[in-house]
Structure 1
Amino acid sequence: MSGQDPFEAGMATRKAVLGEAHVARAEAARDDFDGPFQDLITRGAWGGVWARDTISRRERSMITIALLAALGHDEELAMHCRATARTGASREDVCEALLHVAIYAGVPAANRAIRIARAAFAEIETPQDGPGGDKP
């Protein structure tokens, strides 16, 4: 990330992790109301944290999935489970992360997250109809 603009680095990382189609849909839906939020997450989350090379994308993916599961952020959890196809985190990695969630954040949180992860993995294994699918 050294020397690169945080927005540019964030957009490149966001596309690499979530997929070109996902980012294109988010950008197409952008308006005056959520534009500042989109800029914030692109610069902060994607350009400031995810673009760092201190730990791998696989490790960031597992940490993110565990945190989202523990906090009950279901839509974001599903999105990040689908993103494992691009981050290198395996199903086994996600399972391990969710075992930690069960111990440290509670069995109900992990149980819900396992259900969401299972559905997200099934979704990326099913061919998408037409252009714009999130399959890598």
Structure 2
Amino acid sequence: MTSNATAEDAVDAAHRTVRDSGLAVRREVLGDEYVDAALSRSAGTDGEGLQEYVSEFVWGGVWTREGLERRDRSLVTISLLIALGQHTELATHIRTGLRNGLTRKEISETVVHATAYVGCPAGIAAMRVVQEVLAAELGPLTVETESDA
């Protein structure tokens, strides 16, 4: 084996290690059902490489870093998805935020805060998504749930 092949093997092993770590975090945060569905949908398709990239670089490279807790990463991600108008991913990350310990109130306040910076149309559209997800996950907002959330 040449030193070039040895170096390539080491790089491949490093990629696998980070991707495996990312996949583990992805499963912890999003849940096995969600991750399995995403991987199954793309298996054997043009999207398979993107799923590997997301597991390695987003979940393995970013979500495993020190410096921010997962709940804080969820707040940042929710804010960015609001700004980008990415409502499908926003719905996913509202659920992720709940799994990471965010409260209904914190998520709603994140939308209000983001609206001040990205504008009312973006904030209103995001709040529709947030309300739908929170109602599905936590039930409708009531006086009792508002004081608990």
Q: Shorter-chain TM-score category?
A: 0.7 to 0.9
Residue of 83, 90, 98 corresponding to 1:77:
90
The answer (yes or no) to whether the contact 1:101–1:107 under 8 Å persists in 2 is: no
For 1:50 and 1:15, locate their aligned partners in 2 and report how far apart those are by CA, in whole Å.
12
Match of 2:131 in 1: 118
The code of the aligned residue for 1:14 comes to R
2:19 corresponds to which of 7, 31, 50 = 7
Identity fraction in percent: 35
The answer on 1:90 being equivalent to 2:103 is yes
Q: Decide which of 22, 30, 37 is 1:25's aligned counterpart.
A: 37
Please tell me the residue identity of whatever aligns with 1:54: G
Report the RMSD for the aligned CA atoms in angstroms.
1.6
Deviation at 1:29, TM superposition (A): 1.3
* Partner SS for 2:62: helix
Higher RCO (CA-CA < 8 Å; seq separation 6+): 1
1:54 correspondence with 2:64: no
Distance 2:112 2:38 in 1: 31
Q: Does 1:64 align with 2:77?
A: yes
Instruction: Extract structure 1 runs of 4+ deviating beyond 4 A.
Output: none
Amino acid in the other structure paired with 1:108: P
SS in 2 for 1:33: coil
Report which of the two has the higher share of helix: 2
Change beyond 3 A, Cα 1:119–1:108: same
- Count of residues in Structure 1 that have an aligned counterpart in Structure 2: 124
Name the CA distance, whole Å, in 2 between partners of 1:57 and 1:95: 18
Query: What do the CA deviations read for 1:64-121 (whole angstroms, capped 9, x no partner)?
Result: 0011011100100001011122111111221221122111111111111111011011
TM-score w.r.t. length of structure 1? 0.85
Q: Residue type of the partner of 2:68?
A: I
Structure 1 gaps of 5+ residues are 127-136
TM-score (norm 2): 0.78
Residue-by-residue CA offset, 1:1-31 (whole Å, 9 max, x unaligned)? xx99210111011111111110111111123
